[in-house]
């Protein structure tokens, strides 16, 4: 079983998603199968086939979530050091090329969400920033080419 590190909030979000899939989505799929079955011949019933396929995908998602949750380790956010960029730190950087400032929180793959400013520790930017301190200028290889970022602030 793979270990996955999560914040308490990330863990709670996965638990809510699992509960929703098991308590809302699963009964809805079962009901769709029952209704399709009542329509007669299953060999030519596209509605039944679609419902069964949906059930298979749902069960796979539930199994995937259960495996993720079973291997989850909650990270103690109170022990995070802000001397250097690391997992769960919020880092403000400036692109040296265009002076654009950005703030990202470095998170695990399972919690990344660019809309919320959370980038995975496995991304080129995060990998390049980890271990560096405020004031450091870091060169990062990105798909768009080499970029230079200055670290302006590190917080929790």
Nearest to 72 by CA among 144, 1, 154, 150: 1
What number of CA atoms fall less than 13 Å from residue 123's CA on the CB side? 21
CATH 3.30.110.40 fits 78-155, yes or no: no
- List the domain boundaries for the chain: 4-74, 78-155
Nearest to 133 by CA among 79, 86, 68: 86
Tens-digit pLDDT string for the chain (156 aa): 677 778 888 899 999 999 999 999 999 999 999 988 888 777 778 888 899 999 999 999 999 999 989 988 888 877 788 899 998 899 999 999 899 999 999 998 888 899 999 999 999 999 999 999 999 999 998 787 899 999 999 998
pTM score, whole prediction:
0.68
How far is 111 from 125, CA to CA, in rounded Å?
Answer: 16
Q: DSSP character for 130?
A: T
CATH class of the domain at 4-74: mainly alpha
């Amino acid at each position: 079983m793979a270990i996955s590190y999560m914040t308490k909030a990330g863990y709670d979000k996965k638990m809510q998603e699992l509960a929703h899939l098991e308590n809302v989505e699963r009964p809805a799929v079962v009901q769709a199968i029952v209704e399709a079955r009542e329509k007669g011949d299953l060999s030519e019933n596209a509605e039944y086939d679609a419902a069964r396929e949906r059930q298979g995908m749902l069960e796979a998602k539930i199994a995937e979530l259960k495996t993720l949750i079973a291997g989850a380790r909650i990270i103690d956010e109170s022990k995070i050091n802000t001397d250097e960029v690391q997992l769960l730190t919020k880092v403000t950087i400036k692109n040296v090329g265009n002076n654009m400032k950005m703030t990202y929180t470095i998170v695990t793959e399972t919690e990344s969400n660019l809309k919320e400013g959370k980038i995975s520790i496995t991304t080129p930017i995060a990998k390049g920033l980890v271990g560096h301190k405020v004031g450091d200028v870091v060169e990062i290889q990105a798909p768009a080419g080499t970029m230079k970022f200055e670290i302006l602030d590190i917080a929790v």
